[in-house]
Amino acid sequence: MMLQLVSRRCGRSRVYATLALTALLSLLSLPAFAQNLVQNPNFNATLVPWTQFLSSAPDPAGAGTATWVPSPDADNNAGSGSAAVTIAAAPAATNAASGIDECVPFASTLVSTVNYGASVRLPASDPADGGANATIEIRLFSDSACTNFISGAGGSQGQDIVAGIPNNATWYALGDPNFQPATPVTAASVQVRAYLRKTGASANAYNANFDKVFVFLNGSTPVRLQDFGVE
């Protein structure tokens, strides 16, 4: 939700004072999750608390690396950096994956929608053969430790690495602004994953940089007041 108040002169200062009070009360009544749940979403000088994610059974075992690098950065912010992810040439197995993940606990709440996403850069050195996919994924859990997955409460969005995609100048937006579980669920944590996945039996290695990861619950987004004044 974006709150936008545009002041217009009407000759009565009382109206502006009323608007100011209304705006303040609106801010105080915002839902608890009107902020990004992800910790260190911009990879400012470190990967922590993100950890390496490698696929495992029943999917093929993944192989690759995950490190923090000072450049590139999606906002060209010197020193902020991004997460550099690679998936190895072997295994050449469909659905083998390599990347990063994070578990975020929060106060138990009824979740009806999730707005999630990330920015990804796929360097020009990647084979543009469609053999891999850059993916952002979220999964909701009933406990605070991302242990008890809620069936049907997970989703993902990805970009295949095909002709015209790999380059050193473009950050692509991945995500879903309105993911909805099959029914509203009561959750206490969310697992966020950003990774490269083999889409076929590819024997090539691939690279990606992830940055600006976000997760908002129940339609909440940061509030911004624009052109608002009190006279």
If residue 99 lies in a helix (H) or strand (E), which one and from where to where? strand 97-111
Under CATH, which architecture does the 33-217 domain have? Answer: Sandwich (2.60)
pLDDT tens, residue by residue, 40-80: 999 999 999 999 999 999 999 999 999 999 999 999 998 89
Could you tell me the pLDDT band of residue 84, with boundaries at 50, 70 and 90?
A: very high
pLDDT for 4 beyond 80? no
Please state which of the ranges 31-40, 133-142, 167-176 shows the lowest mean pLDDT: 31-40
Tokens (6 digits) for 144: 């605070």
DSSP-derived pairing of the beta strands 206-217 and 82-87: antiparallel
pLDDT tens, residue by residue, 114-150: 999 999 999 999 999 999 999 999 999 999 999 999 9
The predicted pLDDT at position 202 comes to 94
Residue carrying the six token digits 């979403």: 41
Comparing CA positions, the residue from 172, 208, 230, 219 lying closest to residue 1 is: 219
Whether the full predicted model's pTM is greater than 0.85, yes or no, is no
Comparing CA positions, the residue from 91, 98, 103, 102 lying closest to residue 66 is: 98
CB burial of residue 33 (10 Å; 0-12, 13-18, 19+): middle
Let me know: does 190 contact 131? Beta carbons within 8 Å. no
| Alpha helix positions (H), 101-166 | none
pLDDT tens, residue by residue, 13-32: 443 333 343 333 333 333 44
Residue carrying the six token digits 């999606």: 74
The predicted pLDDT at position 18 comes to 39
The predicted pLDDT at position 221 comes to 59
DSSP 58: T
pLDDT tens, residue by residue, 194-225: 999 999 999 999 999 999 999 999 986 544 33
User: Domain extents for the chain?
Assistant: 33-217
Residues 218 and 53: their CA atoms lie apart, in Å, by: 27
pLDDT for 1 beyond 60? no
Within 10 A of 201 (CB to CB), how many other CB atoms are there? 12
Could you tell me the pLDDT band of residue 188, with boundaries at 50, 70 and 90?
A: very high
Let me know: does 87 contact 98? Beta carbons within 8 Å. yes
What is the rounded average pLDDT for all residues in the chain?
85
The predicted pLDDT at position 34 comes to 73
Residues 230 and 198: their CA atoms lie apart, in Å, by: 56
β-strand partners of 58: none
The predicted pLDDT at position 220 comes to 63
pLDDT for 87 beyond 80? yes
